[in-house]
Structure 1
Amino acid sequence: MSIAPALTRRLGTFDAVVIGLGSMIGAGVFAAFTPAAQAAGSGLLIGLAIAACVAYANATSSAQLAAAYPTSGGTYIYGRERLGPWPGFLAGWGFVVGKVASSAAMAMTFAAYAAPAGWERPVAIAAVALLVAVNYRGVSRTAALARIIVGAVLAALTIAIAAVWAGSGGHPGGSSNSSFLGSGLFSHGWYGILQSAGLLFFAFAGYARIATLGEEVKNPRRTIPRAILLALAIAGAIYAVVGVSLLVALGPDGVASTAAPLTTAVTAGGWSWAGPVVKVGAALASLGALLALVAGLGRTSLAMAREGDFPHYFAAIHPKFAVPHRAELALGAAIIVIIMFADLRGAIGFSSFGVLVYYLVANISAFTQSGADRRYPKVLQLLGAAACVLLVATLPLEAVLAGLVMFAVGILYRTVRLRRRASRS
């Protein structure tokens, strides 16, 4: 139970969709197609379709659960309510620890685009401080900034896509269909396609951020499911257009050989002036994803503190701004410390592991619902759960090991906390 006034329902469907889009159309849309092309060639298009199906299955689970439990915390709460305290804790722990690391990485990604050489860490720290300050002032301010960022990112993507197609003359690969498809959709085999599906799934899996804000959405039983599916549909369409456009401009080998495929594609198309626009879009996309992450982390930590899995001190809600201010300030400080002493952009595989556990718990939780709470067929939850397990198998071994260590630390932490609580009673 909160030690201050409850969170206020201020977000409508449009604001919830925008926050979801800000989570999904992050830096991934500017960079994720490179490793996807390396894994699958032009088969990344099949991988994208698989990722969209997996995301839809997981999204329906989140939507169904959010309608029944419209409170802060997302899958942490759903797991506790449907499966028990331990599954809920594992989902919440994986989300908070993994996404704190992801937030540091996203801040450094923003700084890589926006900061002069040598100033990356100070700029990344300033970005985190700014976004924590915006979140501190209330969820309405968060939504307002998200609208600005998402609008600017969509404008940059529109310019980039126009440049690609203008440069190609409307012909795949600029010349022939063979360059567009490379050696064929299945040239890298099904394992490569599944790898690309995993990479692309993580790039637009931020729709769950809407569910973590469930306590601040108006008419949540109607708004949250609608916002989740709308945001996913829009993001999926954007990723499909970008993926096809990149293959049109560069072919699969060209996409696989550049770390900034959209910038390369725009430059190759002859609109060199649009290159800086794409870079600004990528920087803003990173900022938008970071904004949504900070908001989601604060609400999940609030829920965990209310239930005693985090210190109750973090369950406080600001009496004026109606935000979990202590949790947000602590998380912001943790992200800044990580930025100061480490660069996790290449070492956050355990975050992917944590995301899969998070959605696995969500799918199993939704599978247990019945009666008036059931909105979607159970087969979707089975598909989502099976896909989570399958995608774990495509993760690099070091990511799996790091994820297991992360959860082992969490289990130890909660065990010690429960024993201390029991000794006091």
Structure 2
Amino acid sequence: MTEHLKRRIGFGLLTAYGVGVMVGAGIYVLVGAVAAQAGVWAPLSFLIAGLIAAPTALSYAEFTTRLPEAAGEALFVEKGLNSRLLGVVVGLAIVAAGTVSAGAVLRGGAGYLTSVTGWPDQWVIVIMGVFLVGVAIVGVLESLSMAAVFTAVEVLGLCLVVWAGAGAEPVADYSAPPEIVWSGVVGAAVLAFFAFIGFEDIVNMAEEVRSPERTLPRAILLSLVLTSLLYGLVSWAAVRAVPMDRLAVSEQPLVLVWSAAYGGSAGFLSLIAVAAALNGVLAQVVMAARVLFGLGRRHASLSVFYHASPRFGTPVLATVVIGVGVVAGALLLPVAQLAEVTSVILLSVFVLVNAALIVMKRRDPAAPFAIPMIVPVMGLLAALAALAVSLGGGA
């Protein structure tokens, strides 16, 4: 066995990975929920959400140039706040969040595929899970190349939705929009913020990226910009083509956009949702395995995970353990509140990462990619506000 991952990933694949993680299956249902609060101003809510996420993304970008290693968040918090214990807790929380969310996405993707094939849910979950774990073991280049294909399918599907919405007859709500209600727009932006969670996964690929100090910040920022634009355009197409009373209550809002323009059931969007699910699961398995690998390097109790296959250059044991957890979660766990739990965990990590960067910048302002101190302060406040709203909504 070896203790070195192979640097095989360039800027293009890493950016595609980031976009694919963020543009997951959630976009297929989240548009309706955001429109329910913001009305025809939903595109503005998505763009504001991107701006809310930007300071934390910039904080991650600086940290990746300071400490370009796997298990990034754990190392950031450990070094910034000078607490090994807190670093381990953050690392294991990221692993748990990735495993839980991947299990939920795998279950949802299996449901779409079952509706097409008629196969039993349990077998579809196991087959999909084993296949994706196998891809993750074979190599990071292969994994991210497949993820890039899934991302291309997702983005193509969303572009078709935008095209359909642009060609549909504008509905009355869009043609004569009501006066903007900022409380609804801002509340919807906090909800839409969760659609941008995923950029943080990029940092955990640091040891497999060529020229990480240069590549990682660029990939983080470009993936966030591309995702913001895509979300804004998709939500614009939805509010333009679908009456607000139907859009706000629909669990398949993008299907409504296509049907408004061309009629029919838009069954192809279900297949694209399967691609989105496969992409989300693969991305989370790859990410969580790298976190375990990085934790194994720094903590004796987890050292069993600090090994990479000399043949594949991937952390095989860590990948298998995560894969088993994902499949088990998809088979056994209730999925109703899994997304909410994942969001709370990740927002808590965002708070700690921004706080850690504030402390580290006070000790040592110099960095290969340095941002002004106000940026992590804004990221800290935005994450705290989103966390408060999330916890308040779950109460």
Q: Distance in 2 between matches of 1:90 and 1:40?
A: 37
User: Counterpart of 2:347?
Assistant: 356
1:155 aligns with 2:156: yes
| 1:315–1:324 contact (8 Å) kept in structure 2 | yes
Give the match for residue 124 of structure 1: 125
Give the structure 1 partner of residue 26 of structure 2: 28
Moved over 6 A (4+): none
SS in structure 2 of the partner of residue 316 of structure 1: coil
CA spacing shift, 1:91–1:251, aligned 2, 3 Å: farther
The aligned residue for residue 104 of structure 1 is: 103
Cα distance in structure 1, aligned partners of 2:251 and 2:41: 19
Conservation of the 8 A alpha-carbon contact between 2:137 and 2:316: yes
Is 2:310 aligned against 1:319?
yes
Question: How many Å separate the matches in 2 of 1:205 and 1:344?
Answer: 18
Aligned to 2:260: 268
Q: Which residue of the other structure, out of 271, 283, 295, is the alignment partner of 1:292?
A: 283
Contact 1:107 1:286 in 2 (8 A): yes
Q: How does 1:94-243 map to 2 (within 5 A)?
A: 94-116=93-115, 119-168=120-169, 171=170, 173=171, 177-178=175-176, 181=177, 183-186=178-181, 190=183, 192-243=184-235
Q: How does 1:332-347 map to 2 (within 5 A)?
A: 332-347=323-338
Say how many residue pairs are matched.
388
Tell whether the 8 Å contact from 1:152 to 1:281 is kept in structure 2 after alignment: yes
Q: Deviations over 1:277-333 (max 9, x none)?
A: 222222211211111111110111111222227532112211111111111101111
- Judging changes above 3 Å, is the alpha-carbon distance between structure 1 residues 297 and 52 closer, same or farther for their aligned structure 2 residues? same
Matched-pair contact (CA < 8 Å) for 1:21–1:235:
yes
Letter in 2 for 1:349: E
Q: Which of 38, 41, 58 is 1:40 aligned to?
A: 38
- Provide TM-score, normalisation by structure 2: 0.92
1:255 maps to 2:250:
no
Equivalent residue number for residue 381 of structure 1: 376
In 2 relative to 1, CA 125–199 (structure 1 residues): closer, same or farther, beyond 3 Å? farther
Encode CA deviations 1:106-127: one digit per residue, 9 max, x unaligned: 0011112221357233212222
Which of 66, 69, 72 pairs up with 1:71? 69
Does the 8 Å contact 2:66/2:367 carry over to 1?
A: no
Gap regions ≥5 residues in structure 1: 401-425
1:383 counterpart letter in structure 2? M
In the alignment, the residues of structure 2 paired with residue 194 and residue 87 of structure 1 have an alpha-carbon distance, to the nearest angstrom, of 32
Gaps of 5+ in 2: none
Partner of residue 50 from structure 1, selected from 48, 51, 54: 48
Q: For the residues of structure 1 that align with 2:42 and 2:172, how far apart are their CA atoms?
A: 19
* RMSD of aligned alpha carbons: 2.0
Displacement of 1:174 = 6.3
Separation in structure 2 between the aligned mates of residue 377 and residue 26 of structure 1, nearest angstrom:
31
Residues 1:394 and 2:389 aligned together: yes
What is the CA-CA distance between 1:41 and the residue it aligns to?
2.6
Q: Which amino acid aligns with 2:379?
A: G
User: Using the alignment, how far apart are the partners of 1:314 and 1:372 within structure 2?
Assistant: 30
How far residue 376 of structure 1 moved from its aligned partner, in angstroms, is 1.3
Does structure 1 conserve the Cα–Cα contact (< 8 Å) formed by 2:40 and 2:244?
yes
Amino acid at match of 2:355: I
Q: Residues 174 and 239 of structure 2 are in contact (CA less than 8 Å); yes or no, is this contact kept in structure 1?
A: no
Q: Could you say if the C-alpha distance between residues 319 and 64 of structure 1 is closer, same or farther in structure 2, counting changes exceeding 3 Å?
A: same
The 8 Å contact of residues 35 and 239 in structure 2, kept in 1 or not, is answered as no
Q: Matched residue of 1:72: which SS?
A: coil
Asked if the contact 1:166/1:269 (under 8 Å) is kept, the reply is yes
8 A Cα contact 1:164 1:249, kept in partner: yes
CA distance in 1 between partners of 2:73 and 2:354 (Å): 9
Map of 1:411 onto structure 2:
none
**Structure 1 contact 108–345 (Cα < 8 Å) conserved:** no
Q: Distance in 2 between matches of 1:380 and 1:395?
A: 22
Deviations 1:138-190 (A, max 9, x none): 1011121012111111221222222222222xx4x268522xx4x4431xx62
Q: What percentage of aligned pairs have identical amino acids?
A: 23
Q: TM-score, normalised by structure 1?
A: 0.86
> 1:321-366: CA deviations, max 9, x gaps?
1111111101111111122222314444221111101111221222
Distance 2:387 2:173 in 1: 38
Q: Secondary structure at the match of 1:323?
A: coil
Partner of 1:4: 2
CA gap 1:99/1:185 in 2 versus in 1, 3 angstroms? farther
Give, in whole Å, the separation in 1 of the partners of 2:45 and 2:393.
23
SS of equivalent to 2:152: helix
**Corresponding residue for residue 17 of structure 1:** 15
Cα deviation per residue 1:230-254 (whole Å; 9 max; x = unaligned)?
A: 1111111100000111100114332
CA deviation after TM superposition for structure 1 residue 20, in Å = 0.6
